[in-house]
Amino acid sequence: MVNTTFNRAAPQTQLFPVPAFTDNYIWLLSRAGHAVVVDPGESAPVEAHLAQQHLTLDAILLTHHHGDHVGGALALQKNTGARVYGPATESLPVCDQRLREGDAVVLENLDLHLEVLDIPGHTAGHIAYFGPFNQGKHLLFCGDTLFSAGCGRLFEGTPAQMLDSLGKLRALPLDTLVCCGHEYTLANLRWALQVEPGNAVLHQRWASAQEQRAKGLPTLPSTIGAELDINPFFRTQQDSVSRAAAAHIGQRLDSTLAVFTELREWKNNFK
């Protein structure tokens, strides 16, 4: 578990990836004794962290309806009284305030103002939360839409929807901390190296991620800037990526959407 802090003068906002299940992260932000959690697939690890750190849970943020992201929300609400926020159009076990793009979540105790983005693709109503975090940096909770060196499978959406959603995230500030829902980085990097074997930054990230995991450390959060250098799904307009996708399928790909669609299919079947 890591503790990412940036502001040493004012009360610090701390960011923790709380491990859950096999490879999930439940993201927890805390400040001055208050906390918010994102996508609590189970309640026990969150409750243990709250008790250990003597924190009051103010809010629960949900990005999409999958059980490994919402399974602990009801128990946490019952045990803490925290307010639950979630996507407007998805079926959730509990939700006090439904959100869509243009809405915001304001948590004064944590000095957070998070904008809501609609990012369908992985699920039909998937949302993300984005906002400033300590000394001018930014924070993104993107659920299962964006991963380090990867993106989510298309369970309910279309390639065009996912490409548009990733375009929104790609345009965020380069310093934005990317808080993904799973520790998929090594598997994604293995595939990304097949797409761009000549990408030196990608090789460096592969080495550093292996070292992090060998020490039992998370590879997350990433940043938008880092993903622009290593993530094939962010790099569909790069010649090296489009050529690799075309070579893999054995035919010309005449649009960014076609490149993205082939990349997603390639990743789906990559072992």
Binding residues for Zn(2+): 64, 66, 68-69, 122, 144, 182
Residue 66 among the catalytic residues: yes
- 200 CB burial (10 A radius; 0-12, 13-18, 19+): exposed
Task: Determine whether 113 is an active site residue.
Answer: no
144 is annotated as an active-site residue: yes
> Do the Cβ atoms of 232 and 196 come closer than 8 Å?
yes
Spatial neighbors of 237 by CB under 8 A, at least 6 apart, are: 256, 259
Active site residue 69: yes
Q: Is 122 a catalytic residue?
A: yes
Annotated active-site residue in 69, 111, 126, 138: 69
> 65 an active-site residue?
no
Q: Which of 66, 111, 118, 138 is catalytic?
A: 66
Collect all residues with Cβ–Cβ distance below 8 Å to 266 and sequence separation of at least 6: 191, 195, 245, 248, 249
Binding residues are 64, 66, 68-69, 122, 144, 182
Catalytic pick among 34, 39, 49, 64? 64
248 labelled catalytic? no
Which among 68, 118, 126, 138 is annotated as catalytic? 68
Q: Mind telling me the catalytic residues? A: 64, 66, 68-69, 122, 144, 182
